[in-house]
Amino acid sequence: MSNRKHIKVGDVMSRGVRTIGGMSTIREAIAVMRDNRLGSLVVERRDEDDEYGLLEQYDIAKNVIANNRSIDRTNVYEIMSKPVMAVALDMDIRYAVRLLVRFRLTRALVIDDTRSPVGIVTLRDMVYGQLDELEQENS
């Protein structure tokens, strides 16, 4: 039997999320990202039946800057990813890693029991969390 501790997504995620509306311009999104030193923003749901979206710096680079589109005339909803991959706060990181790897993603939205966003988790967060746990076991 293993005495191995199960590390939960909530143990390693970045807490809190910054959101932006889908109708916001890319200029507004870049400003929020820069001011908060973020690589992504959660795009708000329009209503309770809608899903969250995600806007990453990569989306802006690929779909706006590389294509010479205006940051003032391009809206977030035009280039965001939606629906965003979401994982539960109490999911074991082994399963969250498998899920992200299967879909070739680097990050996921973390949601609580009410489907409200509570953080973002990245593969890096989970890999480092696993390493920290192994180092604690060996000391």
Q: pLDDT tens for residues 59-75?
A: 999 999 999 999 999 99
What is the per-residue pLDDT across 106-124, written as a single tens digit (0 to 9) for each?
999 999 999 999 999 999 9
Report if residue 122 sits inside a domain: yes
For 40-59, what is the mean pLDDT? 95
Q: Does 108 map to a domain?
A: yes
**Residue 89 vs residue 2, higher pLDDT:** 89
2: pLDDT strictly greater than 90: no
Q: Is 37 helix (H, G, I), strand (E, B) or coil?
A: coil
* Residue 133 confidence (pLDDT): 73
Helix, strand, coil tally for the chain in percent (to 5): 40, 20, 40
pLDDT level of residue 135 (50, 70, 90 thresholds) = low
Report percent pLDDT > 90 for the chain.
86
CA distances from 79 to 9, 26, 31, 90, 129 (A): 27, 9, 16, 30, 31
1 in any annotated domain: no
Q: Is residue 98 one of the residues assigned to a domain? A: yes
4 is a domain residue:
no
Output the pLDDT for position 6: 86
The CATH code of the domain that includes 87 is 3.10.580.10
pLDDT at 34 over 70: yes
| pLDDT given at position 134 | 66
pLDDT tier at 42, thresholds 50, 70, 90:
very high
Number of domains in the chain: 1
The residue segments making up the domain with residue 76 are 9-138
The model carries a pTM of 0.85
- Crossing angle between the packed helical segments 93-102 and 123-138, to the nearest 10 degrees: 140
